[in-house]
Structure 1
Amino acid sequence: MKALLKDLPTLTAPIVGETLILYLAVSKEAVSYVLVVERGDAQMPIYFVSNALSGSEYFQAHPITVLTDQPIRQLLYKPEISGRLTKWAIELGKQEIAYCARSAIKGQVMADYLAETVADMPVICDPEQLLMPSPELWELYTDGVAEKTPASSEDAGAGQILTGPHREEHIYALRFNFKVTNNEAEYEALLAGMRIARELGVKKLQAYVDSQLVANQINGTFDANDKSMQSYLALVHSLADTFVDFRISQIPRSQNKQADVLNKLAALSFNHLEKKILVEQVFKKSTELETTVASVEEEEATWMTNIIEFLQTGSLPEGEKEAMKIRVKAPNYELRGESLYRQSYLGASQRCVGPKEAAMIIDEIHKGSCGLHSGLKTVTERIKRLGYYWSQMYADTVERIRVFQECQLHAPVSRAPQHTMIPITSSWMFCK
């Protein structure tokens, strides 16, 4: 260590446009960072500092790549963040900063040494498990029960217990407000549990049921001859395709007691369960067809393309000004599946739409079945309340409303002259 301290590396002057690499280290009292540049096979230090959060230095002439093992990018670009993190996201969004996973130590040794000289490094838990879906195996236990007799007060119900890789349990109960058979109740319980697992971001799922018929039909051992069973089997296979790995096994009823108790309690009375267990009432079967609206596909790139690419891969457009706009706007958006949503400070998040879908929304609100041929402000406010957003909402609405023939025929006609009239007074008869 003494030999290293005697022969410290010399600071190097950066070249304009050269990509800089930033190594960070945080302790209880100080923040230390080292700014280096790769030249050949070596990393040359440019600047290093260790302070007690007393200020910050920015290098606006250089793109900076932050190498860290912490999920900084996920924290700064999540719309749910609030308070100090939102201020930091806006402040850092002005700079050309990219966050990458740290693959090698190299300059990180110097940043760690600067932090250790102030105080010992704290034990920091890895929050990646809270932000990213776990690829580990989850277990699902389900059981369903049908009505006993028409005169019985016991209704149909189902229970699901979803167990995570760290043995955490998510308990749910369903109560069916329709008539089902035992096999249909088993399928409904399994489908509900698979939907819950999909919403939680589960990738690998192992399902356990005590119904031999359901397990063997899904595995292909038994054939589904009944039309109802065929419909349920198709739904299970379609949901199974959304997982990376899905397996189902049949277990004895003695090993599925918890799910069996849940469905019986939900079938009898669930008022006392709502305080500890999530209970849901189901009013129709999963096999009943629902009216679906085909999504509108945009043929060309839209105003959302750059934002979506930045949120998915971190890529930015080539222009410096355009890249700066995307970095500043990105914290206000989030991806939910394949849809982009914009954070709304006065209500729920708004779904972003392209030009084609925007034109359909304007037409429906302005002249649709419930349209009143309202003006610009009324139409745009209704669009916002319905939960839609696009960047040129006001300009597109004005342009779209002007082309409607009914609005042109029944619009109030302006009688005012186009130009300001200049009054002309007659001269006095006897004036000189």
Structure 2
Amino acid sequence: MTKKELQSFLDKVNFLRRFVSNLAGKIWPLTPLLKLKDTERFVWGAEHQAALMPPKRGKPFRLYISASEGSIGYLLAQNNESEREQAVHYLSRTLNVVELNYSPIEKLCLTLYFAATKLRHYMLPSVVQIISKTDLIKYMLTRPIIRGRIGKWTMALSEFTFQYVAQKSVKGQALADFLAHHPAQGQEEELEVEIGMARMEKNYWTMYFDGSSTEARFGAGVVIQSPQGQRWQFAFQLDFKCTNNQAEYEALIIGHEILKEMKATRVLVYGDSQLVINQLTGEYQCTSENLIMYYVTALNTSDEFSRISFEHVPRAKNREANEMAQVASGVNIPDSDHDRVIRIKRRTLPALAERGMTTQVSSFEITDEVNTAETDWRYPVVKYLHDPSGSHERTTRFPARCYLIYHNELYRKGLDGLLLLCPSAEDIKVIMTESHEGICGTHQSGVKMR
């Protein structure tokens, strides 16, 4: 970029300054370049390019699409370094006379095709998450016969890697709806795109990875899902000392090797290690001497795929890979063995039920038939037993584990295995009154009173 081009660009940006928050702070790195004299050299550096915040290559995009009665619109967005959604490109156009007769679902398919023709250079290298009111991918790929305009659009979109996401983001969808109701005129013609090999199925693999590092052993877990929905779980025990970040990289590289053996070409990788994911997407720099070789190896194995994207997910969404890593780091494998087969079988009935015996109701088999008021001392315990994962006080969580509900009554589990009935405050008064009146006979010891 030259100084003249920069001046022209900033003139256009300043026209919209009242619509952009803190515009002066955002373009502050660029202003010193405007003060350069003609004899001084104009140098466009990395700090100037960072002020424009270009999209990150390899990071998933989000495409919001919307169609109204007479127009269509889309918004392409991507999460920035602070994981906040940032708009990349938005556009809309009016529908011609023929397109006005399309059904609502066909108008949405037209919007997706329109966005692909305009944003091919953005969308082709990365996974694109389609966010709309209808699952367009399922609609287009489950047609019994591919023909007509839907068949044409399906063939043209087969080179992209799409993933449908249910509409949840009100902010992004509101912008797309606004653009659809305020379209740009003079863009009614359709553009033709080159059609490549068409595959009428979900055309990318999914991989989850996680590493585990303990004082005794180290493990790596990988979960792979094929485009057809088949899943494989892998657990590897690392027979050498490594840090947790090194174990994460080990799991990632092992997953790449498995995917290559499965002939995968397009991959979407999920991991809960923010350090590893951000290093691979270029948001973080790898400066650790212990990780630099892992980082280079991971990049080299990633280049073996035609298309690969990395995305950070919370640990709760990476639970299956985490369990595989925990199993690998927790199982003791003798030195003479290279692997160990762990068989996991499913049993649908308890062992007692198979022998014709009734099972004792556990503390998790809770019914709503236990009537307790908020003033009752049993209320916090019953509330915890009904929803153990909810928000409870610490003074309630630990004691409540000694209680269970059986036949709609609250019991406390004794040390000798007996169940002690937990009456309400009113029932306690009745019991104490009857005991002192001698209805139960003479006073007995605590064990006999049970």
The reply to whether TM is greater than 0.5 is no
TM-score by length of 2: 0.30
